Amino acid sequence: MGKDVDRPDYIIDTNQYLLIHDDVATIIDPGGIEMFSSVSSAFAGEVRMSNVKFIFSSHQDPDVVSALALWLSITDSKIIIDRIWSSFISHYGAKPNNMIMVEDGGMKFNMAKDYAFDIIPAHYLHSPGQLNLYDPISKILFTGDIGAALIPKEDLKSKRRPNVFVKDFDNHIKYMEFFHKRFMPSNEPKKIWIDRVSKLDVEMIVPQHGLIFKGKDMVNRFLNWFDSLNLGIYSK
Residue 61 sits in the site that holds Fe ion (CB under 5 A)? yes
Pick between residue 25 and residue 149 the one whose CB is nearest to Fe ion.
149
Residue 208 sits in the site that holds Fe ion (CB under 5 A)? yes
At closest approach, how far in Å is the CB of 179 from Fe ion? 9
Pick between residue 52 and residue 149 the one whose CB is nearest to Fe ion.
149
Residue nearest to Fe ion (CB): 61
Over the chain, what HEC string results? CCCCCCCCCCCCCCCCEEEEECCEEEEECCCCHHHHHHHHHHHHCCCCHHHEEEEECCCCCHHHHCCHHHHHHHCCCEEEEEHHHCCCHHHHCCCHHHEEEECCCCEEEEEECCEEEEEEECCCCCCCCCEEEEECCCCEEEEECCCCCCCCHHHHHCCCCCCCECCCHHHHHHHHHHHHHHHCCCHHHHHHHHHHHHCCCCCEEEECCCCEEECHHHHHHHHHHHHHCCCCCCCC
Choices 152-160, 163-171, 189-197, 202-210 (CB under 5 A): range interacting with Fe ion: 202-210
At closest approach, how far in Å is the CB of 152 from Fe ion? 17
At closest approach, how far in Å is the CB of 180 from Fe ion? 12
Residue 29 sits in the site that holds Fe ion (CB under 5 A)? no
Residue 145 sits in the site that holds Fe ion (CB under 5 A)? yes
Residue 135 sits in the site that holds Fe ion (CB under 5 A)? no
Residue 13 sits in the site that holds Fe ion (CB under 5 A)? no
Residue 82 sits in the site that holds Fe ion (CB under 5 A)? no
Site of interaction with Fe ion (CB under 5 A)? 61, 63, 145, 208
